[in-house]
Structure 1
Amino acid sequence: MSSAARTPLPGLTVVHVPVSDPRVTPLLRELGHEYSTRYGSDARTELARYPDEEFTAPHGGVLLLLLLGGEPVAGGAFRRYDAKTAELKRIWTHSAHRRRGLARRVVAELEHEAGTRGYRRIYLTTGPRQPEALGLYLATGYTPLFAPQAAPEAGPLPFEKHLTPAPRTGKATDL
């Protein structure tokens, strides 16, 4: 592992932005390229599968970006899956900034935000050609809803995690 891969990035901030924010473009562009490389050209349709509104309040979704010096280096989103469940989508780390714990940070931030919105369970899927994602979700406490030892060739591969209820703040939650 190179020293750059082990070096944490200083000055990270978490920013909540709408999908229409221009800083989201690199995330979607790189995800589209990654999906196409691993699964073929039809895989880009996954990014267009859900309307942008599903990733904004009150529909239960917020897009998060971790920014370094104003540039996006990692991000993700969640959407309402059902009344008690948020679904994580579009988890991404810029290819030049991987292996620094940024994806773990994104997942933790998304879980926290979903919990503050009243969700008690997180659901997500990944594909069989994304071993980094499989490792991330297993390492961050997600339970596979498939037999991991079977190493399925077809996806999606579902995971879940139950959240600890957030302390009550007295605010109404609009899900």
Structure 2
Amino acid sequence: MRIQRVPITHPDAQLLVEAVQEEYVARYGGRDESPITPSDFDDPQGQFFVGYVDGVPVTTGAWRRSTVVALGVDVTAEIKRMYVVPAQQRRGIARRMLAHLESTAAAAGVEGLVLETGLEQPEAIALYTSSGYEPVPGFGYYCGSDLSRTFGCRLHPVVE
């Protein structure tokens, strides 16, 4: 898999963002309404990535700086738009994208990552908890929703 940084407005990014929105409709009955803007993923605020297998866009992942304080760190970023197309799931692609998000965020000086997911995404919860993420106090657009689950992970500083 090749991971490339692109703007969220890139056609491949938009194709996959729409696919994940359709997944939310199937699982939750509606699109994700948490507010984002394209500039959330411009330096120094964040970064957006698309992963390609044989030249085909199959996964997205992004992070944007956050004001959430969690796990004893206050320089955090929020993971957004993690998605893998169904035909490529269960092949380690999401884990590779997550590792890429962690390393790029750490290289940008982020000390911890936080994320919001939902009970209707048990495979996402399993990915994050098996990758060392732990529950953190609720935050974000869906804070207080019975379906929302929030997780975080401290990052290891990049040594140059």
Relative to the length of structure 1, the TM-score reads 0.79
Of 49, 54, 77, the residue aligned with 1:69 is: 54
Matched residue type, 1:108: A
Q: CA RMSD in A?
A: 1.7
CA positional deviation for 1:107: 0.4
For residues 44 and 145 of structure 1, the distance between their equivalents in structure 2, rounded to whole angstroms, comes to 20
Query: Which aligned runs of 4 or more in structure 1 are off by greater than 3 angstroms?
Result: none
Identity of aligned residues (%): 35
Give the structure 2 partner of residue 40 of structure 1: 29
Unaligned runs of 5+ in 1: 1-11, 147-152, 169-175
Larger radius of gyration: 1
For residues 34 and 167 of structure 1, the distance between their equivalents in structure 2, rounded to whole angstroms, comes to 38
CA positional deviation for 1:44: 3.7
Q: Secondary structure at the match of 2:146?
A: coil
Give the structure 2 partner of residue 56 of structure 1: 42
Of 137, 156, 159, the residue aligned with 1:164 is: 156
Asked if 1:20 is matched to 2:9, the reply is yes
Q: Secondary structure at the match of 1:30?
A: helix
Unaligned runs of 5+ in 2: 68-73, 138-144
Of 123, 130, 133, the residue aligned with 1:142 is: 133
Relative to the length of structure 2, the TM-score reads 0.86
CA positional deviation for 1:55: 1.2
Give the structure 2 partner of residue 84 of structure 1: 75
Give the structure 1 partner of residue 91 of structure 2: 100
Deviations 1:10-31 (A, max 9, x none): xx11100011111112211111
